[in-house]
């Protein structure tokens, strides 16, 4: 851990404390060069690597913002969105990596969103997978329909009407 004051490349831990809920460790550190002290907080992190090469901590709020946009005007409640964001986070964490590509987060959103609302799913997929033409929509809808028919072969009414 670099010293935040003089950028010295090393520091010494002088005290460690685990928070009451066990989710954090606070460490008091001292720089051997300038002698100043600083605190670091350690949590089990999940870092998202963006296509630009930048990285940022995983944020449920960001997942929610993207999904909420896709759900505009759809019969989807805030509670359902919160559950979806939680499922996305659990899905991403279940892979067991401390770092994930933004792409993997997007992929983790698609499944639960499709179960929640197929129109919102198509909107999200069209942006996320960069649909460029009507044909891209058509093939996504064809796939949705085929998978739904496979799941319900008795021909129950669809949520997307057949043409
Ligand atoms: Zn220092």
| Domain map (residue ranges) of the chain | 12-42, 47-150
Q: How far is the CA of 3 from the centre of ligand 1 (A)?
A: 5
Nearest to 46 by CA among 17, 82, 3, 88: 88
Cα–Cα dist 68/46, whole Å: 22
Q: How far is the CA of 38 from the centre of ligand 1 (A)?
A: 9
Q: How far is the CA of 41 from the centre of ligand 1 (A)?
A: 18
Given this model, what pLDDT does residue 8 score?
A: 92
pTM, two decimals, is: 0.63
39-67 mean pLDDT: 87
Each residue's pLDDT tens digit, 84-100 = 998 998 888 877 788 89
Residues near 38 by Cβ (< 8 Å), separated by ≥ 6?
3, 4, 5, 11, 28, 29, 31
Helix ranges, 53-133 (H):
60-70, 78-94, 102-116, 118-128
CB atoms within 10 A of CB 118: 19
Q: Higher pLDDT residue, 101 or 162? A: 101
Given this model, what pLDDT does residue 153 score?
A: 62
Given this model, what pLDDT does residue 95 score?
A: 77
SS3 state at 17:
strand
């Amino acid at each position: 851990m670099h010293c935040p004051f003089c950028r010295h490349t090393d520091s010494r831990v002088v005290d460690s404390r685990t928070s009451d809920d066990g989710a954090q460790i606070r460490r008091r550190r001292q720089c051997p060069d300038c002698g100043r002290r600083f605190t670091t907080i350690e949590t089990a992190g999940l870092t998202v690597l963006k296509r630009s090469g930048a990285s940022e901590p995983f944020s449920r709020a960001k997942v929610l913002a993207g999904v909420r946009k896709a759900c505009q005007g759809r019969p989807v409640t805030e509670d359902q969105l919160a559950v979806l964001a939680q499922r996305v986070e659990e899905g991403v964490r279940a892979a067991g990596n401390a770092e994930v590509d933004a792409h993997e987060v997007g992929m983790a959103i698609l499944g639960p969103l499709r179960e929640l609302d197929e129109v919102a799913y198509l909107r999200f997929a069209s942006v996320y997978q960069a649909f460029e033409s009507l044909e891209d929509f058509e093939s996504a809808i064809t796939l949705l329909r085929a998978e739904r028919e496979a799941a319900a072969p008795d021909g129950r009414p669809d949520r997307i009407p057949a043409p």
